[in-house]
Structure 1
Amino acid sequence: MNASAQDRTTGSGSTITAIARAFAQQMAGRVGGTIASLATVALTTRTLGPENYGQLTAAVMFVTLWMSLTEFGVGEIIVRRVTDSQRSVRPTVHRLVQVNLGISLTMSLPLMAVAMVSGILVYHNQPQVVGMLVIISVSLALTTLHTAFDPVFTVMMRFGAVALADFLGRVLTLGLTIGLVVADAPVYTYAFAQIIPPLGQLIIKAIAARRLGPLTPLFRGRESLGLLRESLPIALVLVIAVLYWRIDGVLLSVLSNPVEVGHFGLAYSIAFMATMVSELFLASTLSTTTRLFQSDRAAFGVFVRGVFEAMYFVAVPVAVVGAVLAGPLITLLSSDSFSDGAPVLALLFLAAAITFLNGSASQALFAAHDQHFLLRLNAVTLTINIVLNVILIPLLGAVGAGIALVATEVIGFVVARVRLARRSPVREPWSFIVRLAIPAAGAGIVAWSLHGVNPVLALLAAAIVYLGVNLLIGPVTPGYIRSFRAARSVGADDDGPVLALPPGAGHVESQAPADGAGPGSPPRIVPRNGQGYTHYDRNQVAHNISIMETAPLDLSALRRSFGWDDRTRDLYMRDPWAAVPPQTPMSGSRLPGSQRPSSLPPSPPHPTPTDLRSRRVPPSDHATDQNPSDHQRADS
């Protein structure tokens, strides 16, 4: 791909269409992969039982403690550098990824060796855990290499290869697991299934990334140190975040017994499969979020509010229906020997739902260059989590670990949300949340009524009721959905409005001509606080939008074409909610925030290279289908 083609891709990648396409690609692959993962979990748990499965889980969780160092947050810095409109000269993503590959090649083998040695020391009295841990440690080296390619796909919004790699890795893992079950293989051989996903991702991503541009590893000491220095706060956040997500399992393996670890591991695997939606969504919106914060704070606020609404739309039924169906689901996917893990699964469904919201808040704070605050917040919540685990695990076992996780998730979300409100014009969508309670209650009642019949039937019926009630009475009604579609296109006629605000965010106000003479002023967009912005006609906006979509992204030129001068910009940046004269437009009447998807999502935990950003998205799905790279994007 030549430079101009790359720029066009990067410039248009912030549109809602590109985001929706990226989400759809990853979701398609992830849904298929999740089905394979569920089958893998079912086969593994039924074959191994709680105790052996607990030992496998202990080995996986210990290795994933080191996963934060496989990417070190460099991918997030690359995305931010390439999409930062404040830079006079923005580097190319390919050049930075080449340097990142050099860093990854240097770090991969030492990281694997450190994980092996430390694991042997910790579990020296559990030889079976040590054997599996040594095998699984190989995945660290593979993950270090394949995550280095992720910024290319994130910046260019090309997630087809990411989705394919994730899907094939899970399917191949299922195939290997079936072979192990049929062959009645010893327990330690199940650890080899953990190597398949990162190996498949490395091969597919390397081939796909190479087609997008030159990606020969570069060993440049000064450039490498610059990236590592800038990524240090994110790396610390990642270390804390991965500890946060895995320390409970490790503490369970030390303070309790393998059976409790098995219950927790299975519940964790099931509950956090639901996080694929938030992972994919956040991975697909990272570059847009960072770009909007730099260029247009009001648009940033509208866009992030839309992200929160989408996450609430998915998180609420996960918490409600998941808690109701926890018992039937855990026995369906394993056996009656795991039935005591039902309360743990109910707690982890609630924790998973809260991670959707935590991820959204953390990504917005990352876009606002507030990663230092995220570091402090994660350090505090990790400390609280460890203290609660040490107190509760000896008393309640896996249930105690679940309670500790929910408690710290709530604390983290509340604090992050308060900080975000102070840093940007993002407000909580309270009316949306209140209206969402009605369809959620309906779904919960239906799930409860049918949970004794068949959990799959109950789940499908609850989903149908939830979506149906939303369409009928809201908040996600046909009108709500149409508002997003309208925001993506210019009005039907030259005089019609071109910007559709999200429901409840404001309204379009016509301005009458002064003294009845001449045509009136252009209509204004009036947010809830009553401040208005000029609403341009179709032709003018279409012309300016075409600049953004067909040429390299130059936000400065785009602002000037709209009449956004430096004086107004400086005033606006000092106080995003200050009254702006009606004749002064925002940096684009077609606000990206108003185009947000109605139910969007990178993939990744490792769905995409951007999982990191969202602070609470877990690093891998489950002990029998580890996707190490998936964890990275949730915690910057």
Structure 2
Amino acid sequence: MGVADGGVLARGVMTVTGARVLGLIFSLVQVKLAVTYLGPTGYGLLMTATLFVNSFGAWTELGMGNVVVRRVSGRGMDLQRQVGLSMTVSMLIVFPMVMVANMAARLLYADQPLVQLGIAILSVGLIASTWALRYAPVAQVHSRFGHYAAADLIGRALSLALVGVTVAMDLGLVWFFLAQLMVPVGQMIAMTRLGKLIGGFRPVWNRREMWDLLRETLPMTYIAAVGVLYFTIDGVMLSQLSTTEQVGAYGMAYRIVGNFTIVSASIASVLAARFAQDAATERAAFTTTIRSSLQAVLIVAAPLAVLVMGLAPDVIILLGSKEMAGLASGPLGLVAIGVGIGMMSAVMSAALIADYQQRILTILNTANLLLNITANIVLIPMYGATGAAISLIMSETSGFVICLALLIRRYGQCLPVGTVLRLVPALAVGLATEALIDGHWGVRILLVGLAYGLGLLVFRVVALKDVRTLMKRGG
């Protein structure tokens, strides 16, 4: 089965990213409503349950989608059968996992019944997410990126609508848990609909083939699990080593800037089939695809890592409350650095997985997770959410440096060096504006964003003619 041409892939990236940007707006509005309504303590309880359940999130994806795409696009295997096998394997795993999550919650949060209830509600979403993600390879192989984008958007829209009703009717914290559940439920509905449009995808039972798929998937499952734990283990450890308010501060910081990973996630998802095919057939094309992907991610990751620190208090007031500004401003700036670095690592990891380098990534991610946990044990008791954010930066930087070294060694000139050099003055324009403008938080955020955008055009990081060409190719 062939992979779509560059124009279709570019259109796919734009479609998925555009929909997720709209979903990001929904999510940020939801953060604002939740922080304002619940306050630091209530929001901390919400984040405690959310981050705990998210720590099991890698087991919904299992890395199986990458394996299915690689088998179909790289080796020409049958899509329906591979998706059917992945459905059976994932369902056999997810139900016991939900029970384990709830039993662990009863032990860790024995004195917090609201957190236990929240985890019980949110854990149902693990089942919905697992089913929805089984259809992701269908969208990627058939280039049906509109449905893929709509899945996330529908879930976030449903979630925001329920939050609005909860606030308007003063329904309380439990309904915020139910609102969070709407995201995976919406994704499940939309992706199941896509599967029915493409063909009859049903679970397939074959012990030998299921075991072969699971065995090939295990390294990527582990990589995905560690990647999720980089972010969520900090919140879980905060809930045990610090206060509920500090969990809320870290959770808010992560919810705000973590949403920007939609860019790296969109690129990795849309280009999964291209990565697999190029890695199997054309080394030069594979190198070019890696370079283009990193170039696109840099444009968003760089300002996150550089500009958010100075704007953090303004962002917290905009998306939270003045009450949260003192708690969450420091963690927000630091988490933004970690997320920016992690976005680059995510695309590099996707490329390395397509080239069957998952064993190296497994060793790397294990070492980084141990580094993250150790740093959290030392720093959280002293610095709370700020310590957790510093631990995130340490582990993400370690992973980034090693992935970068692997790419340079294997593929040579795959890095967008020219883009990096042109980004420096564009970022400098943003930083200068940040330093010179002192006024209303809304004005500062707007002007810094405009200054950075202008820098992208002036220093030709982004060219208008390239955007027009991309649009024509995607049409």
Alignment TM-score > 0.5, same fold: yes
Listed as ranges, the matches of 1:610-621 within 5 Å are none
2:93 matches 1:103 = no
Q: Is the 8 A contact 1:304 1:426 kept in 2?
A: no
2:48 matches 1:58 = yes
Deviations 1:435-465 (A, max 9, x none): 211111102222343452233x333333333
Q: Is the 8 A contact 2:148 2:191 kept in 1?
A: yes
Q: CA deviation at 1:481?
A: 6.2
Q: 2: CA distance between counterparts of 1:385 and 1:150?
A: 30
Matching residue of 1:256: 242
Listed as ranges, the matches of 1:32-43 within 5 Å are 32-43=22-33
Tell me which amino acid in the other structure corresponds to 1:23. V
Q: 1: CA distance between counterparts of 2:13 and 2:81?
A: 26
Deviations 1:476-526 (A, max 9, x none): 3457768x769x98xxxxxxxxxxxxxxxxxxxxxxxxxxxxxxxxxxxxx
Q: CA deviation at 1:129?
A: 1.1
Q: Is the 8 A contact 2:163 2:175 kept in 1?
A: no
Q: 2: CA distance between counterparts of 1:37 and 1:96?
A: 33
Matching residue of 1:183: 169
Distance 1:150 1:391, change over 3 A: same
Q: Is the 8 A contact 1:393 1:400 kept in 2?
A: yes
Tell me which amino acid in the other structure corresponds to 2:421. V
Matching residue of 2:61: 71
2:410 matches 1:423 = yes
Matching residue of 1:316: 302
Listed as ranges, the matches of 1:8-27 within 5 Å are 11-13=2-4, 15-27=5-17
Q: Which of 302, 314, 323 pairs up with 1:337? A: 323
Tell me which amino acid in the other structure corresponds to 2:140. T
Q: Which of 351, 360, 367 pairs up with 2:338? A: 351
Q: Is the 8 A contact 1:54 1:262 kept in 2?
A: yes
Larger Rg: 1
Q: 2: CA distance between counterparts of 1:384 and 1:427?
A: 28
Structure 2 gap ranges (5+): none
Relative to the length of structure 2, the TM-score reads 0.95
Q: Is the 8 A contact 1:111 1:141 kept in 2?
A: no
Q: CA deviation at 1:321?
A: 2.3
Q: 1: CA distance between counterparts of 2:70 and 2:440?
A: 50
Q: 2: CA distance between counterparts of 1:361 and 1:303?
A: 11
Q: Identify which range, 106-115 or 397-406, moves more after superposition.
A: 106-115
Q: Which of 391, 394, 405 pairs up with 1:407? A: 394
Distance 1:299 1:481, change over 3 A: same
Matching residue of 1:237: 223
Deviations 1:104-132 (A, max 9, x none): 33333222112111111111122221121
Distance 1:190 1:471, change over 3 A: closer
Distance 1:475 1:185, change over 3 A: closer
Tell me which amino acid in the other structure corresponds to 2:102. M
Tell me which amino acid in the other structure corresponds to 2:55. L
Matching residue of 1:194: 180
Matched residue SS, 1:195: helix
Q: Which of 103, 109, 121 pairs up with 2:107? A: 121
Q: Is the 8 A contact 2:89 2:214 kept in 1?
A: no
Q: CA deviation at 1:145?
A: 1.3
Q: CA deviation at 1:164?
A: 1.4
Q: 2: CA distance between counterparts of 1:136 and 1:471?
A: 43
Listed as ranges, the matches of 1:376-455 within 5 Å are 376-450=363-437, 452-455=439-442
Matching residue of 2:289: 303
Q: 2: CA distance between counterparts of 1:156 and 1:121?
A: 45
Tell me which amino acid in the other structure corresponds to 2:63. G
Q: 2: CA distance between counterparts of 1:361 and 1:251?
A: 28
Matched residue SS, 1:282: helix
Q: Is the 8 A contact 2:318 2:441 kept in 1?
A: no
Q: CA deviation at 1:467?
A: 2.9
Q: Identify which range, 38-47 or 97-106, moves more after superposition.
A: 97-106
Q: CA deviation at 1:427?
A: 4.0
Tell me which amino acid in the other structure corresponds to 1:418. A
Q: Which of 450, 453, 456 pairs up with 1:464? A: 450
Matching residue of 1:607: none
Q: 1: CA distance between counterparts of 2:28 and 2:88?
A: 36
Q: CA deviation at 1:425?
A: 2.8
Q: 1: CA distance between counterparts of 2:249 and 2:102?
A: 25
Q: Is the 8 A contact 2:230 2:395 kept in 1?
A: no
Q: 1: CA distance between counterparts of 2:459 and 2:229?
A: 42
Q: CA deviation at 1:99?
A: 1.8
Q: How many residues align?
A: 473
Q: Is the 8 A contact 2:334 2:393 kept in 1?
A: yes
Q: CA deviation at 1:383?
A: 0.4
Q: Which of 66, 69, 73 pairs up with 1:83? A: 73
Q: Is the 8 A contact 1:325 1:448 kept in 2?
A: no
Q: Is the 8 A contact 1:12 1:18 kept in 2?
A: no
Distance 1:257 1:441, change over 3 A: same
Matching residue of 2:199: 213
Q: Is the 8 A contact 1:98 1:217 kept in 2?
A: yes
Q: 2: CA distance between counterparts of 1:70 and 1:473?
A: 42
Matched residue SS, 1:476: coil
2:149 matches 1:163 = yes
Distance 1:216 1:360, change over 3 A: closer
Matching residue of 1:46: 36
Q: CA deviation at 1:293?
A: 1.6
Tell me which amino acid in the other structure corresponds to 2:68. I
Q: CA deviation at 1:379?
A: 0.3
Q: Is the 8 A contact 1:101 1:218 kept in 2?
A: yes
Distance 1:258 1:419, change over 3 A: same
Tell me which amino acid in the other structure corresponds to 1:32. L
Q: Root-mean-square deviation (CA), in Å?
A: 2.0
Q: 2: CA distance between counterparts of 1:479 and 1:56?
A: 46
Structure 1 gap ranges (5+): 1-6, 490-596, 598-636
